Structures are given as C-alpha cells and as structure tokens.
Amino acid sequence: MNSGRQACQHSPLLLAALLLTACAGYSGRGLQAGVATLPEVIATMGMPALSWQDPDGSEQLAYPRGPAGTQTFMVFIAPDGRLQRIEGVLDMVHFARVEAGKSDRESVLRLLGPSVPQWTDYFKARDELVWEWRFCDSWNQLARFDVLFDATTGIVRSTYQRPDLMGWDGVAPYCGH
C-alpha cells in the first residue's frame, strides 16, 4: 500500500518530464544547426507532413502542429544532410510574404505549410478556396489567418486575420507564452 502512495507522489514529476520531452520534439528544440542530421530531425520531430527537394540537394520539411497547436515549423536541411535551421512560420513576418495577385497555392504551402484540413473550405458561388491556420498573434492571443485563392487559377485573392473566438466568454484566449 505504501508503494502505491509513492507512485502517486512521483507521478506529477514523471508527467512533467514527459511533457518536457514532448515539447522538445514538438519544436525540434535541442537539435543543433550544422550538427543534427536528417535522420536525427525525423527521430526527434517525427515524419514531416510535406517535404520539398531543391535542385541543389537541400530539403525543406513542414511540421504543422495544428489543429490544437499554434505553430508550423519549417526545417531546412543542407545538401550535406545536416540541419541548417528551424523556423516557426505562423507569424506576421511570414504572413506578409503572401501577396494577393502574385502568390499561388504552392508558394503558400512552402511558406506556411498545410492548413488544417477541417478548416479548408470551397465556396462554389465565388469559385474560391480558403485555407486557414491558427496562430498566436502579436498580443499573444489565439487568432486565425486565412488565405483566399481563386480556385481555378490557384492565385491568392486576399488574406486576413481574425481573433479565434473560442473562449467561453467569446473573447480570444491567450496563448500562454
């Protein structure tokens, strides 16, 4: 009976350790640029949702962490198979690179990664495709970023962001970091 009580006393510590380990894999924290290899990235972060091979032999891997998460990580691997960098891409700097009339679906995918499938919608009357991502805005509140494409050409028509009004009081909840 005493050992059961000890197990319960240690479980919060064990839970905290497991959560810390999960967070390290979530963002790739602990992987060192110029040192970590592609197999180490995959062992730490899992299989990417998408990947692209560039003509010079470098690779880009997309790790979307939605729908509950608020970040997509792009991992850049050098031609020698070593990690160059990891970028969190769901932020205003990256969103500003999506240009109406110029950007297309492929360039948006490479910039932001895939949107959450259940938040993708097609509007027949406008022949418009909408992709959506959840992120933490500049005020540290949950928000959503939408890209609207001409569904025929795949060219971006417009973008916008709005609060994620999921809070019990109808106010966008804080991200907690």
Query: Sheet holding 59-64: strands in order across?
Result: 50-53, 59-64, 72-77, 83-88
pLDDT value of position 36: 97
pLDDT value of position 42: 96
Contact 131, 177 (CB under 8 A): no
Contact 121, 128 (CB under 8 A): no
pLDDT value of position 167: 63
Helices (H), the chain: 2-27, 38-45, 92-95, 105-112
Segments of the chain assigned E as strands? 50-53, 59-64, 72-77, 83-88, 121-123, 128-136, 142-150, 156-163
pLDDT value of position 107: 98
Going along the chain from its start, the domains and CATH numbers come out as: 26-88 (3.30.1450.10), 92-163 (3.30.1450)
25: helix, coil or strand?
helix
pLDDT value of position 19: 41
pLDDT tens track of the chain, all 177 residues? Answer: 444 444 444 444 433 433 433 444 578 889 999 999 999 999 999 999 999 999 999 999 999 998 888 999 999 999 999 999 999 999 999 999 999 999 999 999 999 999 988 889 999 999 999 999 999 988 888 899 999 999 999 999 999 998 887 666 777 777 865
With a CB cutoff of 8 Å and minimum separation 6, the contacts of 127 are 150, 151, 152
167: helix, coil or strand?
coil
